[in-house]
Amino acid sequence: MNRLRNPSNGQENQNCEQAIPIGDGKVQAAMFDAQPARARVFTFGLGSFKIAALLDAVDVRDNLVSALAPGQSPIAMQELAASNFIDRDRYEHCFIPTLVDTGSEKVLFDTGFGDTGSSLLGCLQDLGLGPNDIDVVIITHGHPDHIGGLVKNGEPVFGRARYVFGAAEFTFWTEASTVREARLENRDLFRRICTGLASQATFIAPGCEVLPGITAIDAAGHSPGLLAFLVESDGHNCSSGRTPSCTMPCPSSIQSGTPILMMTKSKPSRPACAS
């Protein structure tokens, strides 16, 4: 996996010594501080809520067309990519946990990989927040890039938080015998990380209002119990132009056509949540 690379030149973001030519033709070495090549936090308001998309990591992958536009004309897609200044064949798969500050609680959707290449905690730090400022962690589904940051060295990272899991998703990873071979390692990771958090967790079903303004939606497909979330505040919504950059922590999750986090004025029915 090519993680956290600068999309403009393919180089990893790290301290580097770079040669800079000066007037007399000599070369002077200069040290550059390690800085992300682009912003890793994107914030905006939604009613009285504040929302931040947090770039945990980037995986640069090949086969843009087959991955993101199966069945479409490769030539047309490559031309579309080029006209939007995107590489014709490679693409970035971004991992973007999302923070919603409701004013009374700070709610983190997913926790990133949690490994040495993860930037989630750095993103929170950019906002002046530490892990103990998070009140609620909502897990959309049980894949490693969503649960990996929950625990470090066997201890919960977000020490004050309560957790919210989809009941079907939690049951699938902890009890089901239908986990396919390719996901057995994922299953073991889920059990290792999440089982110990169950006593602090609420288990919900689609339609459940987790908090005022945050409602779970069935998005099963990418994983058996994947949840999307509807976020509403003061009747405000989010323009569609902004939505993709802030609402798709796992773009490949959108196999049911439902964004992970939707923003709208509509109000779905809300059955009581089970804990």
The least CB distance from residue 252 to Zn ion, in Å, is 6
> Could you say whether residue 106 binds Zn ion (CB under 5 A)?
no
**Residue 211-250 contact track with Zn ion, rule CB under 5 A, x = bound:** ---------------------------------------x
Q: What are the φ/ψ torsions at residue 16 (nearest 5 degrees)?
A: -145, 150
The least CB distance from residue 70 to Zn ion, in Å, is 17
Q: Nearest residue by C-beta to Zn ion? A: 143
The least CB distance from residue 141 to Zn ion, in Å, is 6
Q: How far is CA 32 from CA 10, 25, 29, 123, in A?
A: 17, 21, 10, 21
- Span 41-100, contacts to Zn ion by CB under 5 A: none
> Could you say whether residue 143 binds Zn ion (CB under 5 A)?
yes
Q: Quick one: 3 or 143, whose CB is closer to Zn ion?
A: 143
The least CB distance from residue 248 to Zn ion, in Å, is 11
Near Zn ion by CB under 5 A, which window of 17-25, 140-148, 192-200, 234-242? 140-148
Q: Which amino acid is at 5?
A: R
| CA distance linking residue 18 with residue 269, whole number of Å | 58
| CA distance linking residue 103 with residue 94, whole number of Å | 27
Q: How far is CA 152 from CA 82, 99, 244, in A?
A: 41, 20, 30
Residue 12 has what DSSP assignment? B
Q: Are 251 and 180 in contact (CB under 8 A)?
A: no
The least CB distance from residue 222 to Zn ion, in Å, is 5
Q: Are 225 and 190 in contact (CB under 8 A)?
A: no
What is the DSSP track for 96-154? Answer: --EEEE-SS-EEEE-----STT--HHHHHHHTT--GGG--EEEES--SHHHHGGGEETT
> Could you say whether residue 3 binds Zn ion (CB under 5 A)?
no
The least CB distance from residue 217 to Zn ion, in Å, is 16
Q: Quick one: 111 or 233, whose CB is closer to Zn ion?
A: 111
Near Zn ion by CB under 5 A, which window of 25-33, 60-68, 123-131, 136-144? 136-144
| CA distance linking residue 159 with residue 111, whole number of Å | 13
Q: Quick one: 145 or 232, whose CB is closer to Zn ion?
A: 145
Q: What are the φ/ψ torsions at residue 19 (nearest 5 degrees)?
A: -85, 130
**Residue 250-269 contact track with Zn ion, rule CB under 5 A, x = bound:** x-------------------
Number of residues that bind Zn ion (CB under 5 A): 2
Q: Quick one: 208 or 250, whose CB is closer to Zn ion?
A: 250
The least CB distance from residue 215 to Zn ion, in Å, is 21
- N-terminal to C-terminal alpha carbon distance within the chain: 37
Q: Quick one: 52 or 250, whose CB is closer to Zn ion?
A: 250
The least CB distance from residue 142 to Zn ion, in Å, is 8
Return residues touching Zn ion (CB under 5 A). Answer: 143, 250
